[in-house]
Amino acid sequence: MRKLVLAVLAFGPALALASGFEVINTNPRDLAMSHSLVAAQQDAAATLGNPAALSKLDGLNLSLAGTWLGVGTQWTAPSGDPVLKGSAETKSAPVYPVSLFGAYGTQVNGHGVGVGVGVGVPAGGQVRWPEDWQGRGRIITVERRMLGFYGNVGYEVLPWLRVGAGGIYYYLNQYFKQGIQNSSTPDAFAELKTSGGALAFQLSAEAQPIDGLTIGVDYKHQGVMKTTGDGHFSAPPALQNFPYVDQGVSEHLTFPNLLAVGVAWRVTKPVLVTLQYNYSRFQSYQEDDFVGDTGIDIVVPRRYSDGHVIRGGVEWSTSDKLTLRAGAMRDMSGFNTDAYSPTLPDSHTTGFSVGGGWTFFPGLAVNAALFYGDRDKVTVTGTTAFPGSYKTDVWIASLGLVWATGVGASK
């Protein structure tokens, strides 16, 4: 099979607000505290954040939220480059991740037990460069949509110790468009779309060794998604040569192991402080490899190493009605400047978040959050990457409700 290592044919993902193509938890309460709540889950969203906390629920609980997520990247040509000049910016192309969870908790033989199901967006990508930009030979459009379907159980082992476990189904749907050459033939491009999924599992625990202090840990196993789909080449006849013809395409993409460890400290009754560390095993992301069924094999080097994030947040219940939240984070991504690509304008990120909640009546609250991610400017190195520097900003707004319906509640 003909194999091409195409540094210049860089189909791949983009976006994210954690290492690689991972996305920050967009549930409004989590987002408002920069995703630092592994030790402070309290509603159906614990299905994603820490299933052990499901055992604290009483009756049917719903957590439903929608999100607006926008990423903007500016590319600047290297100074003195004989070919590349000026700059380019990605076009506005927001995405709308959801966070929909339902859970039910009760007591069994004096032990809390909770079951939760739901769907979230654990990863993804969205980049839309101008059709005629100078890097069109690398990428024009990336649409990577990943959904995580979660089904988990939480169990209260001891009054101070809870554990959780369950299954995850990761589903990936992705589309890439790349110019076949420079802007002299803007009608020449290639498209790929593949989709598929993988099963994984989740383990978690929550412990409260002393009053006011909670320790949480959550582990999600990697999912190797086997995706298949179609590749299409749109080009003048002169550029349509075997094996660059329409064909089936497949890619195996690993969504890595994720580990979150954190503490939540209730400083005073109305004030909660959280601190969390996240580890993402992105060493599994060494390349994107798209294999065609009639001879083409497109390998895009990534060469990632593992990602590490430190997060923290504060939650202040000012009254029975109003709760205010804030958070911050620093993400040390595992990207490699030698294999950097405009398909994935990743970088180390400093993030800030604010938000709040309004409780209409006991059990029903509306939460909102706003997040800004300031990515460090990246200047690529080596001879493989698309030359230049990249500066990316990320804005996320989320709105949702949490409803302890009372259905099946013991009190």
- Measure Cα distances from 270 to 131, 184, 315, 316, 320 in Å: 52, 63, 8, 6, 10
Among 145, 122, 109, smallest CA distance to 47 is for: 122
Between 38 and 95, name the residue whose CB sits nearer to other proteins.
95
Report d(CA 42, CA 315) in Å as an integer. 13
Q: Nearer to other proteins by C-beta: 133 or 282?
A: 133
**Pick 15 or 205: Cβ nearer other proteins:** 15
Taking CB under 8 A as the rule, does residue 121 contact other proteins?
yes
Instruction: Based on the shown chain and the rule CB under 8 A, indicate whether residue 95 belongs to the binding site for other proteins.
Output: yes
Q: For other proteins, which residue of 49, 137, 196, 256 counts as binding (CB under 8 A)?
A: 137
Q: What residues contact residue 269 under an 8 Å CB cut-off, 6+ apart?
A: none
Cα torsion at 76, 79, 85, 89 (round to 10°)?
10
For other proteins, which is the closer residue by CB, 159 or 236? Answer: 236
The binder of other proteins chosen from 80, 82, 86, 362 (CB under 8 A) = 82
The one among 22, 156, 191, 251 contacting other proteins by CB under 8 A: 191
| Distance separating alpha carbons of residues 95 and 68, to the nearest angstrom | 6
- Check residue 382 for interaction with other proteins (CB under 8 A): no
Residue closer to other proteins (CB basis): 243 or 330: 243
- Say if CB 219 and CB 227 are below 8 A apart: no
Please name the residues in contact with 237: beta carbons below 8 A apart, sequence gap of 6 or more: none
Cis previous bond, 243, omega within 30: yes
**The amino acid at 308:** H
Spell out the residues 6+ positions from residue 256 whose beta carbon is closer than 8 angstroms to its own: 20, 22, 222, 280, 281, 282, 283, 284, 285
Candidates 174, 274, 333, 349: give the one binding other proteins (CB under 8 A).
174
177 scored as a contact of other proteins (CB under 8 A): yes
Which of the stretches 186-194, 264-272, 318-326, 328-336 binds other proteins when contact is defined by CB under 8 A? 186-194
**φ and ψ at 80, to 5 degrees?**
85, 0
175 binds other proteins per the rule CB under 8 A:
yes
One of 72, 87, 89, 171 touching other proteins (CB under 8 A): 171
Instruction: Determine if 100 is a binding residue for other proteins (CB under 8 A).
Output: yes
Which residues have a Cβ under 8 Å from the Cβ of 109 and sit 6 or more positions away? none
Residue 135 interacting with other proteins (CB under 8 A)? yes
Per-residue CA distances from 365 to 63, 290, 362, 393, 397 (Å) = 10, 45, 8, 30, 17
User: Does 392 contact other proteins by CB under 8 A?
Assistant: no
Q: Kindly indicate which of the ranges 166-174, 302-310, 314-322, 390-398 contains the residues binding other proteins, using the contact rule CB under 8 A.
A: 166-174
- Nearest distance in Å: CB 104, other proteins: 17
Residue 338 has φ and ψ, to the nearest 5°, of -75, -20
Could you give the CA distance from residue 176 to residue 386 in angstroms, rounded to a whole number? 17
Q: Is 237 in the site for other proteins (CB under 8 A)?
A: yes
106, 185, 222, 389: which one binds other proteins (CB under 8 A): 185
Query: How near is the Cβ of 248 to other proteins at its closest, in Å?
Result: 7
Interface size with other proteins, residues (CB under 8 A): 58
- The single residue among 22, 30, 43, 143 that binds other proteins, judged by CB under 8 A, is 143
Is residue 230 close enough to count as binding other proteins by CB under 8 A?
yes
317 lies in the site for other proteins, by CB under 8 A: no
- Binders in 255-294 for other proteins, by CB under 8 A: none
Give the span between the Cα atoms of 4 and 289, in whole angstroms. Answer: 10
Query: Identity (one letter) of the amino acid at 394?
Result: V
Identify the residue among 173, 250, 254, 389 touching other proteins (CB under 8 A): 173
Site string for other proteins, 12-51 (x = CB under 8 A): ----------------------------------------
Identify the helix (H) or strand (E) that includes residue 101: strand 98-108
DSSP for residue 91 = P
- 234 or 317: whose CB is closer to other proteins? 234
Residues of this chain that interact with other proteins (CB under 8 A) are 4, 6-9, 64, 66, 82-84, 95-98, 100, 119, 121, 134-135, 137-138, 141, 143-145, 147, 171, 173-175, 177, 180-182, 184-185, 191-193, 229-232, 236-248, 386-387
